[in-house]
Amino acid sequence: MEKYNESEIDAIEFHLRNNKSAIVDTDTVYGIVSLSSNLIYDAKNRPHSKKLVVFIKNFTSAGIFTLNEIKVLKKYWPGELTVIKNKVGYRVPNSKFLLDLLDRVVFLYSSSANMSGKTPIKSFEEAKVEFKKSKDKVIFVESRSRHTDEDQPSTIIDLDKNKVLRKGKIDGQQVLIEMLQVKN
């Protein structure tokens, strides 16, 4: 598994555009990102029935969210909130590196960096072991952050069902209340 640091964004973009995934530090836990959803499903041995999250940056002009929804989301994005709309999960990560990368590639499929059903990795050494079968299809992007057991995945809210699917640091119920208030 090749290792890069966040300043090597040209090389990282090159690998992503040439059929590789990258294990990256996000504002929550280490994640695996790719321009191809199938690369993530294969690397994680993840069933296709489990959806991936799409990292985006320009959510205000993407045509996904209404103006009222955007008003609420501006309070939480970039940040630790995943929003499902029309059965697709979206997130704007609060990571300068990922936001800079999204300026170049527009979107990235993403998931936590772990085999399906296991806990997310916390280091390059864990990534090498966890993704040894996919080492030729995955690169590792080193960052200065250290992950701890207190790290939490993002809060997930489903706007299609007005429901909190996963609790994280952000109060998903509060976000839903704000969404309902702007709709009325």
CA 142-166-53 angle, to 5 degrees, is 50
Q: Phi and psi for 79 in degrees, rounded to 5?
A: 170, -170
Q: Which of 23-37, 70-84, 148-162 has the lowest mean pLDDT?
A: 148-162
Rounded to whole angstroms, the Cα distance separating 45 from 29 reads 19
pLDDT in tens, 77-92: 999 999 999 999 999 9
How do residues 145-158 score in pLDDT, each as one tens digit? 666 667 788 999 99
The two tokens of residue 57 are 């940056």
> Angle at the Cα of 97 (from 94 to 100), degrees rounded to 5?
95
